[in-house]
Chain A
Amino acid sequence: MKVGIVYAGVGGQGVLTASSIVGKAALLSGMNVVMSEVHGMAQRGGIVVTEMKIGEAKSPLVGNGEGDIIVGFEPVEAYRVLHKAHRGSYVIVNTEPIIPTTVSLEGENYPKVEELLKSMKELNVIAIPATELARKAGNAIATNIVMLGALSRVPVFPISKDKLVEAIKATINPRYHEMNLRAFELGYEAVNL
């Protein structure tokens, strides 16, 4: 078994935290896991991508076409890593954009989210309003945990819901457990497969 997962989003959305939680959950499930992250410069507002392989693999990077699941915390960032996917990959997309400063400062264009989603042909696209669901749970900052709730529904994702929840509790400040578990459930329920 080998599952490649790519997490892509914007610094500040909790991409690193979310992918570390999955890694911990894999360890709790007795599975091998290797994950690559990039630290440094500009912790918020820039692109953040982490790559993970669960199962029999040593390479910490997911090659082109090796991404069985793409977890896109932001529509454009999800689209940017699609070359890592293959036909039939699962792509979870948070439909709420974070518009980069280049749009107002350099006159660049942010495409319509519907256009991005429509262009994701031959992929299993799961589009959810994750940030809005996080607000419903109590704080937009829990977007990452909403995404994990949705991820736990993906058929090829090898880790159980229970183990994910256990890893969330082991990672997040107890003060915010209740809100995050609400966020997780909202993400879980948002997916209809």
Chain B
Amino acid sequence: MRYENIILDEPGRKEFLLGNEAIVRGAIEAGVDFASTYPGTPSSEIGNVLFYVAKKAGMYFEFSTNEKVALEVSAAAAASGLRSMVFFKHVGLNVAADAFMSTAYVGTNGGMVIISADDPSMHSSQNEQDNRYYALISGMPMIEPSNAQEMKDFIKEAFEISERYKLPVLFRTTTRVNHVRGIVEYGEIKREKREGYFHKNPAKYVILPSAARRMHLELLEKLKRVEEETNTTWLNRIEGSGNEIGIITSGVAYNYVHDVVKELNLNAKILKLAFTHPFPRKLVKEFIGNVKKVIIVEELEPYLEKETRLVAQMNNMQVEIYGKLNGYFPRAYEYNPDVVKDALEKILGIKIERNSYNPTDISLPSRPPVLCPGCPHRATYYAAMMALKQLKIKDAIITTDIGCYTLGIQKPYEMADYLLCMGSSIGTAVGFSKSTKQKVIGFVGDSTFFHASIPGLIDAYHNKANLVYVILDNRTTAMTGHQPHPGLPMNGMGEPAPYVDIEKLVRGIGIDFVKTVDPYDVKETIRVFKEAIQHEGISVIISKRECALLWDARRRKQGEWWIYQINQDKCTQCGLCSDWLACAAIFKRKDEDGKVRIYINDALCDGCGVCATICPFDAIEKKVIK
């Protein structure tokens, strides 16, 4: 079994774990009973691991249709006395926000931990919102771990805190904690036999206005008690000594502070905060009262900084505070050791020796992320592009959505003109179809379709929009690492499950023009696109073909391996494959004889053969590798 080491009951064992794997280990040590998610980078591997270990660990796990459903599912489990955990990426919390806000009022019975994985620098996100502010507007206790070991240790504590105050706890992580590997030492697994039972109590669990008014006061009362704990908890600690410089930090930024302070032999005290909401005002007051300069190092928003300034102001303290608000630290993008060094140079008036290599300036070609070789989306975009060309339509508006296929934005396809968020391709397509006379084509992935697109499609049908809606059904949630979704005959426990037939669902709404195509059949796909584009009203194309990476993995595991190569004797260098299909494995090279030729990279080619089917000269040939 994959990930079997994560559930071994061997206290003291050490493993090289990804932060997200360490979270699962910690939750299992805490005896978690129940978990739910909608996958999103950088949180996804938590679900990937649970997919393999949940059954063995004796717990329930599901990939929910979207984050709101995931939160509701876990809230009910916690209300029934179970320990539950729900996790998603930062923008997933926007989707879940309605349910999220109410869970703070309603509270929990069993421990409930809500994990938000934020993405400073937007490695794979549409924004870099700082979800720590969600703790403030909801009134939820919040914990920010700094490394893989803390992911494991602190999540256990998060369950305890949740049960102590009967409040859900927001566990706020970031990319460089989720996606950092480190050595994690295991603790004991506490497996209590818990059976969920819901004790009815409408006054407690039904958030009617009359109850909500009381609940809000109760929440504020609870938060006062939690603040007493944040002032004394072991999760917040002071390192180092000195009465000149005090550094307050949390999350991944602590690591950079730690290493830089050590490297410079700086005489500084570090207040490493992890239990950051409610803000530990007493602890911070004492800390800043004993130093002359306070430096606050945190990624994104100045949360710790504003709270610290508030503490200083309310206590009439005259300490110097350096952070983002007076321009010493950046408010955008993730930090690194150099960001901390740059700030310390300014604040302390020192010069830090750096012996970074200074390479000769050579112009390097850019290498943006691209659709993988073999990706069925490439074949679909090629067909859509060719259909529009053949129909001489130049100004079609292409709304796109969140998934690998957003990369259709690139040349030569240029199949992306507007994108807001998960599921927005259909709602925005309706808007464009109502406000312009241009052709509108929306693209959405299968998982994103289930997630937040069905209400939009109902809106399109009911309001008689004129558009083409393309559902790119690659039989998985590909971008986040291949999780199942409701369209597949398997669930989060790895068990057979009933699945939703997309074509039937679309027809069930009342839409008549619904066609399913195999994008590798390029000719037929172009034909269907032309028909759909010329159709008045809504037309839906389901472009169905499994993600190439899944197909590759299955074949290669069985030792089946083949690629395609160009027969230079037949090739006329017409460029259809390199410039119009534009597969990432196909490239042009100037050979020693000065001629430019097209080749296929044998290490990247996945053997899909789409290039061979479109080649007008039959110059692309299959080659089996043993």
Partners in one complex: yes
Residue from B356, B411, B589 within 8 A of A83 (CB atoms): B356
B-side contacts of A41, CB under 8 Å = 41, 124, 369, 404, 407, 479
Q: Which of B567-617 contact A (CB under 8 A)?
A: 575, 578-579, 582, 584-589, 601-604
A-side contacts of B252, CB under 8 Å = 60
Task: Decide if B407 touches A82 in the complex (CB within 8 Å).
Answer: no
B136 shortest CB reach to chain A, Å: 28
Task: Decide if B256 touches A61 in the complex (CB within 8 Å).
Answer: yes
Task: Decide if A44 touches B365 in the complex (CB within 8 Å).
Answer: no
Residue from A82, A87, A116 within 8 A of B355 (CB atoms): A87
Task: Decide if A63 touches B366 in the complex (CB within 8 Å).
Answer: no
A17 on the B face (CB < 8 A): no
B209 on the A face (CB < 8 A): no
0/1 string, B473-492, CB within 8 A of A gives 1:
00000011100000000000
0/1 string, B35-51, CB within 8 A of A gives 1:
00000011011000000
By CB atoms of chain B within 10 A, which of A65, A89, A119 has the most? A65
- Complexed CA–CA distance, A123 and B360 (Å): 12
A185 on the B face (CB < 8 A): no
A156 on the B face (CB < 8 A): no
Task: Decide if B41 touches A39 in the complex (CB within 8 Å).
Answer: yes
A-side contacts of B364, CB under 8 Å = 76, 79-80, 111
Task: Decide if B336 touches A39 in the complex (CB within 8 Å).
Answer: no
- Complexed CA–CA distance, A102 and B252 (Å): 35
- Complexed CA–CA distance, A63 and B360 (Å): 19
A10 on the B face (CB < 8 A): yes
Task: Decide if B358 touches A83 in the complex (CB within 8 Å).
Answer: yes
A7 shortest CB reach to chain B, Å: 13
Q: Contacts A37-B179, A59-B258 given: A139-B561 contact, CB under 8 Å?
A: yes
- Complexed CA–CA distance, A2 and B227 (Å): 39
Size category of the binding interface on chain A? 35 or more
0/1 string, B155-194, CB within 8 A of A gives 1:
0000000000000000000011001111100000000000
A72 shortest CB reach to chain B, Å: 12
- Complexed CA–CA distance, A32 and B116 (Å): 28
Q: Contacts A44-B372, A46-B370, A60-B252 given: A100-B365 contact, CB under 8 Å?
A: yes
B-side contacts of A40, CB under 8 Å = 41-42, 44, 123-124, 479-480
B173 shortest CB reach to chain A, Å: 13
The interface-forming segment of A19-27, A147-155, A157-165 is: A19-27
Residue from A60, A84, A86, A138 within 8 A of B255 (CB atoms): A60
A-side contacts of B579, CB under 8 Å = 104-105
B14 on the A face (CB < 8 A): yes
Task: Decide if B411 touches A106 in the complex (CB within 8 Å).
Answer: yes
Q: Contacts A40-B41, A104-B578, A139-B561 given: A34-B369 contact, CB under 8 Å?
A: no
- Complexed CA–CA distance, A36 and B19 (Å): 10
Q: Contacts A37-B179, A87-B357 given: A43-B366 contact, CB under 8 Å?
A: no
- Complexed CA–CA distance, A40 and B477 (Å): 11
- Complexed CA–CA distance, A109 and B588 (Å): 11
A-side contacts of B255, CB under 8 Å = 58-60
Task: Decide if B362 touches A35 in the complex (CB within 8 Å).
Answer: no
B327 on the A face (CB < 8 A): no
A29 shortest CB reach to chain B, Å: 11
Residue from A57, A61, A105 within 8 A of B336 (CB atoms): A61
Task: Decide if B369 touches A12 in the complex (CB within 8 Å).
Answer: no
Can you list 24 A-B contacts (CB < 8 A)? Answer: A24-B16, A34-B181, A35-B180, A38-B179, A39-B124, A41-B407, A57-B259, A58-B255, A59-B336, A60-B176, A60-B255, A61-B337, A76-B365, A80-B364, A87-B357, A100-B366, A100-B587, A101-B370, A101-B587, A123-B357, A131-B603, A134-B603, A135-B602, A140-B603
Interface of B toward A, CB cutoff 8 Å? 14-16, 18, 41-42, 44-45, 123-124, 146-147, 175-176, 179-183, 252, 254-256, 258-259, 336-338, 341, 354-360, 362-373, 404, 407, 410-412, 479-481, 549, 557, 559, 561, 575, 578-579, 582, 584-589, 601-604, 625-626
Interface of A toward B, CB cutoff 8 Å? 10-13, 20, 23-24, 26-27, 32-47, 57-61, 63-66, 76-77, 79-80, 82-87, 89, 98-106, 108-111, 115-116, 119-123, 131, 134-135, 138-141, 143, 173, 175
